[in-house]
């Protein structure tokens, strides 16, 4: 594979691995956020990740993201309209 196909495949795998790691950390922040600002920024980052790297949508669906966001809504972590909008965007 002298045309660079192999290298682009390896780089693509590395991007997905980093994206999954970042999603894990951001989902942890959403789960443990004690303020709505932290929750909002974490949700926004997750939403942006899902737009930039479509494979993160698979990760989000497998790791009970919707349950974390609903739980945060009941804990009043997502009490601002902006946080609820970001949570809704990720749940769709």
> In which residue are the tokens 């009970």 written?
64
Are 84 and 30 contacting, i.e. CB atoms less than 8 angstroms apart?
Answer: no
| Annotated domain spans of the chain | 5-91
Structure-model confidence comparison of residues 3 and 11, the more confident one: 11
pLDDT attached to residue 16: 74
Give residue for tokens 């997502």. 78
Q: For helices 5-32 and 55-62, what crossing angle results, to 10°?
A: 40
Predicted local confidence at residue 40, as pLDDT: 84
The token pair at 16 is: 């997905």
43-92 pLDDT tens trace: 888 888 888 877 888 888 888 888 887 787 777 666 777 776 777 767 66
The widest CA-to-CA distance across the chain, in whole angstroms, is 55
pTM attached to this predicted model: 0.71
Q: Is the pLDDT of residue 1 over 50?
A: no
Beta strands in the chain (DSSP E): none
């Amino acid at each position: 594979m002298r045309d660079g196909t192999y290298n682009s495949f390896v780089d693509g795998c590395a991007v997905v691995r980093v994206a999954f790691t970042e999603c894990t950390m951001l989902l942890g922040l959403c789960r443990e956020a004690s303020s709505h600002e932290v929750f909002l920024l974490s949700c926004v980052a997750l939403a942006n990740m899902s737009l930039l790297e479509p494979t993160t949508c698979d990760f989000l669906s497998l790791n009970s993201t919707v349950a974390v966001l609903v739980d945060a809504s009941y804990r009043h972590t997502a009490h601002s309209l902006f946080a609820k909008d970001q949570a809704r965007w990720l749940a769709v």
